[in-house]
Each structure stands twice: as structure tokens, then as C-alpha cells.
Amino acid sequence: MYNALMKKFLIKNCALLLKQGDITKEKVDAIVNAANSMLAGGGGVDGAIHEAGGPMIEEECRKIREMQGGCPAGEAVITPGGKLLAKYVIHTVGPVWQGGNAGEEELLRSSYRNSLLLAVKSGLYFVSLPSISTGSYGYPVDQAARVALTEVTGFLNKVRPYKLRQVSFVLFSEDILNIYRTVLEDIVVRSNFQP
């Protein structure tokens, strides 16, 4: 069931929400960070999360860097949320857009899939996602939205019910929210009318 006003979509007891906002303000089990492979912090959502979460997040990222050298594109790691309202931060590294023929789509799918897998493994129920790779990494938003939403809806259709209660895309601008909403409505219409 898709509620266009609320921009909410139910998949097997899990609510999929689209909202405009600042992901650092989310009071959820985990927010997902669009990080870089060195987990070194940066600008965009990475900078905002490190800024709002405080030095503990960088310290935890440093420990992971020492332990495993960082985080490859498409993979995800988890740290405490520090001073954030969210309990945890799941750091994932999306692909840098190189025109679309360098495996970017599969890496973007992996980023979303591995972030949600890590949330489920960590026993988390409420997760908020940004629009990964669509800022500094240059992934065209309309293409990234379709990849993100097909991957996340596919994941929620497969994962055991009640493993996740709510997954929100927190989009930084109304324009990006509208792109995600249009894509989600298209996916819903197509899936409802599949023969």
C-alpha cells in the first residue's frame, strides 16, 4: 500500500518512507553515512554526521581503519552514534560515477544491501538512508533513485518480516525528494500491474 501524501509504502510489515530533511536529526536505531573508503570524514552528509556526532565517530572510524584498512566501495561498517540522536552510524561507501560503465550500479546496490544487512545483523529496526553517491560522487539522481529504491524494496520483500520496522530515505532537498517519489510511484505501479 502506497500512501502518496505520507510518502509511505508498506512492505511486509516494514514501512518505507520518503522524507525531506537532515539525516543527522533522525531519532532512529541507525543512520547510514555516505562515507569514503578511508572512513576519513569529509563534506556532505559525511561531514554533517561527523560534526553532529562528535569526535567519538572519528575515533571509532580510526579503529576500523587500523583493523581493516578502511571500507571498500559497496561495503558497510558500523560505529556508535556518539552525540547523534541515532544510536549507531552505518558507514557505507558508494561508487564514484564514471559514466555508468564501470560497475557503478552494482556497487550502489551493494552499498544499500550491505547497509540493511548490517542493520538486521545488529538487531536494529529503524534505519534512515541518505541518497548515496548523488553528491560529490556525481551519480545522476534519477538513476541512483531507481537503483536505491529497487534494491531496498527488493531487500524488504526478501528479508524475514519484523526484521526491520521502518526504513526512511532522508533527502536533503525537495527536488531530490520529488525524484525519489516519482521513481517509487513508478516502481509500485509496475509491480502492482505485473502480469
Kindly state whether residue 36 participates in binding ligand APR, applying the rule CB under 6 A.
yes
Task: Report which of 92, 63, 61 is spatially closest to residue 76, judged by C-alpha positions.
Answer: 92
Determine if 168 is a binding residue for ligand APR (CB under 6 A).
no
Query: In whole angstroms, how close is the CB of 13 to ligand APR at the nearest point?
Result: 26
Site string for ligand APR, 63-102 (x = CB under 6 A): -------------------------------x--------
Active site residue 22: no
By CB under 6 A, name the one of 17, 19, 42, 165 that touches ligand APR: 42
Axis crossing angle, helix 174-192 with helix 141-158, rounded to the nearest 10:
50
Ramachandran class of 104: left when φ > 0, alpha when ψ lies in -120 to 50, beta otherwise:
alpha
Whichever of 24 and 153 has its CB closer to ligand APR, that residue is: 24
Pick the closer one to ligand APR by CB: 93 or 164: 93
Closest CA to 25 of 165, 175, 168, 181: 168
Listed residue (87, 94, 91) closest to 39, CA to CA: 91
- 13 vs 112: CA distance, rounded Å: 19
For the bound state, the minimum distance from the C-beta of residue 95 to ligand APR, rounded and expressed in Å, comes to 9
Return the SS3 of 33: strand
Residues involved in catalysis:
46
Positions in the binding site for ligand APR (CB under 6 A): 22-24, 34-36, 42-48, 94, 130-137, 170, 172, 176
